Amino acid sequence: MEAFEFFIPQNIMVGAGTMAKLPECAKKLGGSHAMLISGPTLRKMGIVDKAADYLKEAGMKVDIFTDVEANPSVTTVEKATEAFKEAGADFIVALGGGSPMDVAKAVGVTAKFGGSITEYEGAHKVPGKIIPLIAIPTTAGTGSEVTAFSVITDHSRDYKLTVFSYELLPSYAILDPELLTSAPASVAAACGIDAFIHAEEAYVSTAASPFSDAMAEKAMELIGKWKHAKEQADDAFAFLQRMLELGADVTVTDHYGRNCLMEAVSEASNLCPVKNQETGGFYPDRPITPEMCEDLQRIFRLLIDAGADRNNVSAFSGKSIRQHYENEPVWQICGDLWEGAE
């Protein structure tokens, strides 16, 4: 076994009703004045005010910023940072999906160290600990509450910038399943697909470890009744089919501008033979079998028939699905599904 390192540098609270423990987490961080960052929809639904009430009942001050849009911009980060400073807050609560999480992390940086978030683009450019942050997700797919990334749209460059630093990790992640009931059925369905793909991606990652494998296997088992080989493919297809029936939107893209079809081809690529850069050949321990082609093709076709764009271009790389993978072994699986696509 190769040497590996595994650590979880944050506190994770899980269970129905755990949002009520928000004041407890805040006190452990030494916080007394919160800036609660969320979106307008959760404010209208009363969830933002519910979180604020928990803090107020514990004797804490709360200011609220809910002008967070999907794919939040540099301008939004600047407005939220100014609001944080004017309020005199000493910790941040991020409530919602990936967008409020991204804004909260970015504000934690700029409120502490100044400047524009664009100055911290790239890896490990955050000089130290950011403003204490508590993350409360209302979706179960992005995983932003436990990641070291913040993705912000820079409209001046028509580009999504990424800030990566372990300093961005929230001090606490509160995972309250009751909050998922606030999501529309279509969003909940999309969350299921997203979470399943994250687990599968972790399982086939070249950086996987026995710890990550165990969690990925359990996640896939819980989400999609994961099994091996043919049964796994059948379950994955049935799961995707059910999510689409519930209204999952295949036109939605992630922070990197990748739609579900590009993600599916990416995951399929991980299952294919790996190219040996020295010899130009392929390692033989991952053959592409006819059964594998059939199973993956029906998943691709399901997504295409549901309206997924075959010409999707990743905003992160500027490349389409074809440009990414047509020289990879996975492209022989795609077959004629891309006939007529750019």
CATH classification of the domain holding 86: 3.40.50.1970
159 plus 189 within the same structural domain: no
139 plus 97 within the same structural domain: yes
Residue 5 counted as domain residue: no
193 plus 291 within the same structural domain: yes
What value, to the nearest 5°, has the Cα angle with vertex 127 and ends 122 and 129?
Answer: 110
Backbone angles phi, psi at 281, to 5 degrees: -90, -170
Amino acid 224: pLDDT: 65
User: pLDDT band at residue 318, thresholds of 50, 70 and 90?
Assistant: confident
Q: Is the pLDDT higher at 233 or at 282?
A: 233
143 plus 245 within the same structural domain: no
Could you give the residue ranges of the DSSP H alpha helices within 94-228? Answer: 98-113, 185-204, 210-224
Q: Which residues pair with 151 in a beta bridge?
A: 162
* The last residue of a domain, from among 156, 182, 208: 182
Contact between 37 and 80 under an 8 Å Cβ cutoff? The reply is: yes
Total domains in the fold of the chain:
2
User: pLDDT band at residue 287, thresholds of 50, 70 and 90?
Assistant: low
189 plus 56 within the same structural domain: no
Q: Taking all residues of the chain, what is their mean pLDDT, rounded to a whole number?
A: 86
Residue 2 counted as domain residue: no
79 plus 189 within the same structural domain: no
- Give helix 185-204 / helix 229-245 axis angle, nearest 10°: 160
Residue 37 counted as domain residue: yes
Q: In whole angstroms, give the CA distance from residue 266 to residue 200.
A: 11
* The last residue of a domain, from among 129, 150, 182: 182
Span 185-209, average pLDDT: 80
Amino acid 278: pLDDT: 53
Residue 6 counted as domain residue: no
- The residue range of the domain holding 319 is 185-338
Residue 259 counted as domain residue: yes
How far CA 91 is from CA of 12, 119, 221, 228, in Å, comes to: 17, 22, 36, 45
Residue with tokens 């913040």: 150
212 plus 301 within the same structural domain: yes
Give the CATH number for residue 330.
1.25.40
The tens digit of pLDDT for each residue in 231-278 reads 667 777 888 888 888 888 888 888 778 888 888 888 787 766 555 555
Residue 133 counted as domain residue: yes
225 plus 146 within the same structural domain: no
Token reading at 71? 């794919």
256 plus 294 within the same structural domain: yes
- Give helix 98-113 / helix 74-87 axis angle, nearest 10°: 60
Global pTM reads 0.67
Residue 1 counted as domain residue: no
270 plus 314 within the same structural domain: yes
Residue 3 counted as domain residue: no
What value, to the nearest 5°, has the Cα angle with vertex 264 and ends 122 and 307?
Answer: 110
The tens digit of pLDDT for each residue in 323-335 reads 888 888 788 777 7
Q: In whole angstroms, give the CA distance from residue 267 to residue 73.
A: 29
* The last residue of a domain, from among 142, 165, 182: 182
44 plus 169 within the same structural domain: yes
174 plus 211 within the same structural domain: no
Backbone angles phi, psi at 33, to 5 degrees: -140, 110
- Identify residue 31 by its one-letter amino acid code: G
Q: In whole angstroms, give the CA distance from residue 118 to residue 43.
A: 28
